[in-house]
Structure 1
Amino acid sequence: MRIGLELGAFAWPGGPAAIGETVARFARVADEAGYVSLSTGDHVWQGFNAGGEHQPYLECFTTLAVLAANSRRCRISPVVAGVHFRHPAVLAKTITTLDLLSGGRAGVGLGVGWNADEATGSGIPFPSVATRFEMLDETLRILLAYWTGAEGTDKAFHGKHYQLDRVLGVPQSLTRPHPPILLGGGGEKTLRLVAKYADACNLYPTPEMPAQLARLREICAETGRDYDRIEKTCCLPFDVADGSGTGELLDTLHQLGEQGIQTVIGIVATADPVRQIELIGEKVLPSLSDDQ
């Protein structure tokens, strides 16, 4: 099993002035410890699960750029970007730039989003979930068109929600044929998009997860997609306190592995995120390596 990390909160000692150095240290420690990926979510307000909108939250891709600049091996990706926040052409350029500047380590995680309050409160349109799924499908098609050939297709794309006269992307990403695509969510529509377009799926470790993986396998069989070529990932909070919870975390990771999960993305939302990943790196990662 592989372990990635997601920065989920930014309320740290030292306040805003200390955030930059903490993010940089987080990336350096994670890279040296053997974690496989670094990510953050994509919001303009902090979510209710981490203290709500008056708690600090950083813009996703700026944060990913700092994580990339302070690491050398970890893959860098949003988990996951909301499809309603950016036009696909801007998203394609952003991910391509991140891939180039990181030496070919960028990925893209996408989803339909969930926080209507942050969007509408910030003046950002938040269409119905059905519309956002249509937008997601078109966005995936546009991204793949941008990452085709030497400069993209350089052709027009005329969809229901997006109109592009030229799908032109110069330079292209270093990662070929394209930065890996991860889709977040376990519903029927998302799983069908995973089978059609994605390199990875991201689920939550709920009682429904085994059934969601079974359904993805069925969809792959129906559509001719190789289920085994899709990376199965899931997110869960990482909080081992002073290290006393590492045994329980290791048990959870083994259980997830038995259910078919290949990569766990640990959401770190504690007051001392660097110490958290140091403890897990010391006490959990070596045991996982021994199992392989």
Structure 2
Amino acid sequence: MLLRIFTEPQQGASYDDLLTVARRTEECGFDAFFRSDHYLVMGDGDGLPGPTDAWITLAGLARETQRIKLGTLVSSATFRNPGVLAISVAQVDQMSGGRVELGLGAGWYEAEHAAYGLDFPDTPGRFDLLTEQLELITGLWDTPVGEKYDFAGKHYQLKDSPALPKPVQQPHPPIIVGGAGKKRTPALAAQYAAEFNAGFRDLDGTKVLFDRVRAACTTAGRDPETLALSAAHRVVVGKDDAEVERRAAAAGWSVEELHKSGVGGTPAQVVDKLGQFAELGADRFYLQIMDLTDLDHLDLIASDVLPHVS
């Protein structure tokens, strides 16, 4: 299982904070550094110093890291024009030497759209945007150099696009699709994604989503084994109960909430829980780290968890 560090910068983090964590992520031997793509703090807190744009952040990190993969979990289809997003991601892929992955979703957080003047269609409307964006972005990237690309959708129309620039990765950077939708989400993952992410689900819920997307692959004529499967959870690891309790509080949870809805405990307990997700087919796990100032937390996971699951 690949372990990836996943951050929530909208809760309050500067670019320098993220750079520090990304560098430690690389030093510790984790596979990737991912960040959410949000513009508004969630729950309590002021979110200071304010949001950082996901793809501007990843562009900076692309030049200041050497090995780790970089990506979003996930960018919202309501945030950016897909033609512009295709350019941005391709450029960051070039800047990183081919280490970018694009997580793309329909979007869900209505308050941040209101806060920054972004349109927020209803759920079917957002999925319509996502569907067109997946086709359009991959179409731009996959068009051979020297040829033009046209797209005629309900929401987007392209005419004689040179479909440039091209990303380093071929045929294109891996795309991650996730969520709990019963029909459209697994179908989109089967058609466009290199990875399906089950998100923050318990073991039973994760199995349901994995089974659903495997079935969608079979229906689409795709070998389910070609689709990577992943899960994500808030993670707190401590050497003893006192350290677990302290880190859980710093992450905004009680120990009871952590054990109910996250992955936490001593290194041995966390290794066991990650193993249960691996048995369901998860070959990647996103460790949601909330306290970005606690670099010792990353060191502990790297020394006492990572060697036992990778």
TM-score, normalising length: structure 1 = 0.90
TM-superposed deviation, 1:283? 1.0
TM-superposed deviation, 1:192? 0.8
**Equivalent in the alignment of 1:213:** 210
Q: How many matched pairs?
A: 282
TM-superposed deviation, 1:225? 0.8
**Equivalent in the alignment of 1:239:** 236
Moved more, 39-48 or 94-103: 39-48
**Equivalent in the alignment of 2:61:** 67
**Equivalent in the alignment of 2:36:** 41
Which secondary structure state, in structure 2, belongs to the residue aligned with residue 228 of structure 1? Answer: helix
TM-superposed deviation, 1:52? 5.2
Structure 1 unpaired stretches of 5+ = none
**Equivalent in the alignment of 1:192:** 187
CA–CA distance in structure 2, aligned partners of residues 131 and 10 of structure 1: 25
Alignment-mate amino acid for residue 230 of structure 1: L
2:219 is aligned with 1:222? yes
Contact in 2 for aligned 1:239/1:270 (Cα 8 Å): no
Contact in 2 for aligned 1:26/1:273 (Cα 8 Å): no
**Equivalent in the alignment of 2:169:** 175
TM-score, normalising length: structure 2 = 0.85
CA 149–201 in structure 1, closer or farther in 2 if over 3 Å, else same = same
CA–CA distance in structure 1, aligned partners of residues 294 and 5 of structure 2: 10
Alignment-mate amino acid for residue 191 of structure 2: K
CA–CA distance in structure 2, aligned partners of residues 47 and 282 of structure 1: 31
Which secondary structure state, in structure 2, belongs to the residue aligned with residue 233 of structure 1? Answer: strand
**Equivalent in the alignment of 2:283:** 262
TM-superposed deviation, 1:259? 1.1
Which secondary structure state, in structure 2, belongs to the residue aligned with residue 239 of structure 1? Answer: strand
String of CA shifts for 1:59-84, please: whole Å, max 9, x gaps. 21122223322221111111100000
**Equivalent in the alignment of 1:277:** 298
**Equivalent in the alignment of 1:7:** 7
Structure 2 unpaired stretches of 5+ = 245-264
- Quick one: which of 126, 137, 151 aligns to 2:131? 137
Alignment-mate amino acid for residue 277 of structure 1: L
String of CA shifts for 1:192-248, please: whole Å, max 9, x gaps. 100111111111232321111111122211110110000101111122244763222
TM-superposed deviation, 1:173? 0.7
- Quick one: which of 250, 254, 261 aligns to 2:271? 250
**Equivalent in the alignment of 1:161:** 155
2:135 is aligned with 1:114? no
Contact in 2 for aligned 1:45/1:52 (Cα 8 Å): no
Which secondary structure state, in structure 1, belongs to the residue aligned with residue 236 of structure 2? Answer: coil
Q: Percent identity?
A: 29
Contact in 1 for aligned 2:9/2:36 (Cα 8 Å): no
Alignment-mate amino acid for residue 24 of structure 1: L
